[in-house]
Amino acid sequence: MNTNPMEVLLARLFASPDEVEQFLQDRESYARNCGLTAGQVAAALEIDAASLRFAANSFERKRKSRSPA
């Protein structure tokens, strides 16, 4: 099994809005720390910040409400 490092990055971001802010401060270093390849780092640089913040906050609220999908 080879876990796709992009899943690691997304899991960290979706698990905590604080992680999103750290990521947005220095996307490239954060992405490399997650083990992303050069191509994946380029994709991570393109993530829309507003949508990412919105998604992470939505996840946070859903975790608190413990609602299934």
Partner 1 sequence: MSGSDRVGLAWRDELAAQIMLHLDSIDHLEIIAEREWSGSRRRLDALRDLSRQVPVSLHGVSLGLVSSSNVSEERLGRLARLVERLEPDHWSEHLAFVRVRGIEIGHLAAAPYAPATLAGALRNLERACEVVGKLPQLENIATLLTPPGSCWTEAEFIGKVVCGAGATMLLDLHNLYANACNFGQDPFAMLDSLPLKRVGSVHLSGGHWETGLDGRSRLVDDHIHDPPEAVYELLEVLAFEAPQSLTVIIERDGHYPDFAALLEQIARARTALARGRARREAELRQVA
Q: Which is nearer to partner 1, 10 or 32 (CB)?
A: 10
Phi and psi (nearest 5°) for 57? Answer: -70, -35
Q: How far apart are CA 65 and CA 59, in angstroms?
A: 10
Q: Which is nearer to partner 1, 7 or 18 (CB)?
A: 7
Please count the other Cβ atoms lying within 10 Å of the Cβ belonging to residue 18: 11
Query: Which residue reads 């507003």 in tokens?
Result: 50
Footprint on this chain of partner 1 (rule: CB under 8 A):
1-4, 6-8, 10-12, 14-15, 39-40, 43-44, 46-48, 50-55, 58-59, 62-63, 65, 67-69
Q: Which is nearer to partner 1, 8 or 32 (CB)?
A: 8
